Copies of this chain bind each other. A is one copy, B any other.
Amino acid sequence: MVEGAAVRAGTSGTVGGRKVKKQAERTDMYEILKGMRVVEGASFIAAPICCQHLVGLGAEVIRFDMIGGGPDFNRWPIAPSGLSLYWESLNKGKKSVAIDLASREGRELAIAIATAPGEAGGLFVTNYPVEGFLAHERLARRRADMITVRVMGWADGRSGVDYTINAVTGLPGMTGPAALADGEPVNHVLPAWDLIAGSYAAFALLAAERRRRDTGQGGEVLVPLSDVAATSLGHTGMIAEAIVGGADRARVGNDLFGALGRDFATADGRRLMLVAITPKQWTSLVEALDIAATVSAIEAELGGSFAREGDRYRHRSRLFDVIARAAGSLTLDEAAARLDRTGACWSIYRPLSQAITEEPGFVAGNPVFAERAHPAGHAYPTPGAAGTFPGLDRASAPRAPRLGEHTDEVLADLLGMSSGEIARLHDAGTVAGPTH
């Protein structure tokens, strides 16, 4: 069960009483955070994404899971092999340790891994409940400078996931075709709150670690999805809007609120997203579509100024008519040439499968991605860090571990266990190596 264990490149040895074949596995990306060791005890999106960002900048991330997989191990999308494309995409480049977390000894092991000594360790990212065996106070008793970043649903500990939090934001009532009945909700497909919480948690972890470097003090950081959502609505002015305006924002279909933007069809049946928020974007769009005269006439008739985004929004139906006519008289290629020539802000609506192969620089031809084979049995474009540090070596995107692939390595190297101790834990069913 340990023959596939990926251990530090160039080393070799015996683990768990068996000869281990070592792989020269490059799991780091940038080396910005090299030397930092983070332990992840988590499931689903936000906390794993947090650690995926850390992996992307070169931190070592050790993830522990229940033997056989936690509640997210079989989450869709799944591959024909039955393994989850979701799980492997969220855990690339992490070391995977499989532990029986229902047993007392297994829980002790998880705590020992999270609190293992080392200057750049003592960093734990989790979505386990505030109370319970992975409570921060318990960990801090083992390691005084422990930092725990805990993603939560609701701030008060109530169960909440991206999709239930999203329902209270009011956004489902503002999304979708204007013809839908008031109060008919339209859910989002992108788990936006999870993704925002994930990158915020990575930020909060580095902030807490910076403070620890200066003061020696650890501590806990709570990142509830409910607070991530509420503060996002606050920071973007939507809470102010609801209170000052005394009303909820109306559903306006695909119209961009407060400026000019919408989808438009081309003569050959493609669909464009055209946006003019800034004056520069507006003049570029007008020039590209050659509609200056018509627009001026409407401006003169209405007495506003379309140099102001608010006037473009107020009178958008008039402008949409003009733009729809202009865009509808051009093929996609013709429109693209004109819009690019003037530097307009636009894009083509694409199904994801087409975006992956055809959208220049999005996935294909993007150095952020590398083709990589993963345990579910397929190779596909695999992303590294979202940020680019010009001049530094990005290296290649890491593959996902097999569940339990690094169990023995972590027990030996991090906890200093002997082969005999590790073998005993296997025999007792307290830990497991890779089984798939």
A216 within 8 A of B: no
Are B248's CB and A352's CB within 8 A? yes
Are A352's CB and B238's CB within 8 A? yes
Which residues from chain B contact A196 at a C-beta distance below 8 Å?
192, 195-196, 199
Are A249's CB and B86's CB within 8 A? no
Known: A76-B257, A89-B234, A239-B356. A192 touches B189 (CB 8 A): no
Are B386's CB and A241's CB within 8 A? no
Which residues from chain B contact A185 at a C-beta distance below 8 Å?
254, 263, 271, 273, 349
Are B204's CB and A310's CB within 8 A? no
Are A388's CB and B173's CB within 8 A? no
Point out which of A71, A174, A254 has the most chain B C-beta atoms below 10 A from its C-beta.
A254
Are A345's CB and B159's CB within 8 A? yes
Which residues from chain B contact A175 at a C-beta distance below 8 Å?
175-176, 186-189
CA distance A211 to B209 in the complex (A): 13
Which residues from chain B contact A263 at a C-beta distance below 8 Å?
167, 172, 185, 187
Which residues from chain B contact A222 at a C-beta distance below 8 Å?
387-390
Which residues from chain B contact A53 at a C-beta distance below 8 Å?
200, 203
Known: A257-B76, A261-B163. A90 touches B237 (CB 8 A): yes
For chain A, the count of residues having a C-beta within 8 Å of the partner chain is 162
With beta carbons under 8 angstroms apart, the residue of B188, B271, B378 that contacts A243 is B378
- Minimal beta-carbon separation of A152 from chain B (angstroms): 9
Are B167's CB and A71's CB within 8 A? no
Provide the A216-248 mask, 1 if CB < 8 A to any CB of B, else 0: 000111111011111111111111111111111
Are B207's CB and A32's CB within 8 A? yes
- Minimal beta-carbon separation of A251 from chain B (angstroms): 9
Are B161's CB and A191's CB within 8 A? no
Are B90's CB and A356's CB within 8 A? no
- Minimal beta-carbon separation of A401 from chain B (angstroms): 15
Are A257's CB and B189's CB within 8 A? yes
Are B237's CB and A88's CB within 8 A? yes
Point out which of A52, A228, A362, A386 has the most chain B C-beta atoms below 10 A from its C-beta.
A386
Given A49-B236, A189-B249, 15 additional A-B pairs, CB 8 A: A77-B245, A78-B310, A89-B235, A168-B349, A168-B355, A172-B349, A175-B189, A176-B176, A188-B190, A192-B196, A199-B203, A200-B386, A200-B387, A220-B389, A222-B387
The 10 closest A-B pairs by CB, nearest first: A76-B258, A170-B352, A234-B383, A77-B241, A86-B237, A206-B206, A167-B273, A89-B237, A192-B192, A85-B240
- CB pairs A–B below 8 angstroms (14 shown): A33-B211, A76-B310, A77-B238, A85-B244, A164-B345, A164-B346, A183-B271, A187-B263, A201-B387, A221-B388, A230-B363, A242-B353, A244-B378, A248-B352
